[in-house]
Amino acid sequence: MTLRLILMRHAKSGWDDPLLTDHARPLNPRGYASATAMGHWLRQQGYVPQQALVSDARRTQETFAGLETGLTTDLRPDLYHASSDRMLRALQDGTAPCLLMIGHNPGIADFAARLLHHSPAHRRFHDYPTCATLVADFNVADWGNVRFGTGTPVDFAIPREVLGGQAGI
């Protein structure tokens, strides 16, 4: 059996209000546009998540809402600025064949790189810019069996390319 992960960094957030905590920062207008564009891209490519694990930070929740998946989300405080090891443990809790996870850098870039047995050729993969999205497949029957180095990259896209029409690995 093949399980599919859609791994996304939150969209661009605002720093306009110095009174807000990092956890409470909202998306800025560019972030809202990016989340919407990435939601369209996911649907156009046929990448349809059946479960969502999302950091409980405001910007990750707003990114998820902008994707318009129609899913309810499993808000995960443990994904807020999580390490790659913590993200793997969260992923191993997954139950659906196609799972969306939304988190933060620097952990998400490290997590993406460690999950795959080879990196996509995309020039922005290693810095994982805001709203960057990896689609990876795992030949396992259960998320609990996923280990680092076992994923196969299927696609990788960033909003700038999606908005400009040049997405993909």
59: CATH: 3.40.50.1240
| pLDDT at position 167 | 67
Give the whole-angstrom CA distance, residue 118 versus residue 2. 17
In a domain, 169, yes or no: no
What tens digit of pLDDT does each residue of 125-157 get? 999 999 999 999 999 999 999 999 999 999 999
Q: Are strands 74-76 and 51-55 parallel, antiparallel or unpaired?
A: parallel
What tens digit of pLDDT does each residue of 1-37 get? 999 999 999 999 998 898 999 999 999 999 999 999 9
**How far is the CA of 105 from the CAs of 35, 96, 146, in angstroms?**
16, 24, 21
Average pLDDT over residues 64-81: 96
The DSSP bridge partners found for residue 156 are 134
Q: Is residue 59 over pLDDT 70?
A: yes
Domain count, the chain: 1
| pLDDT at position 7 | 99
| pLDDT at position 28 | 97
Q: Is residue 168 over pLDDT 80?
A: no
Parent domain of 134: 3-164
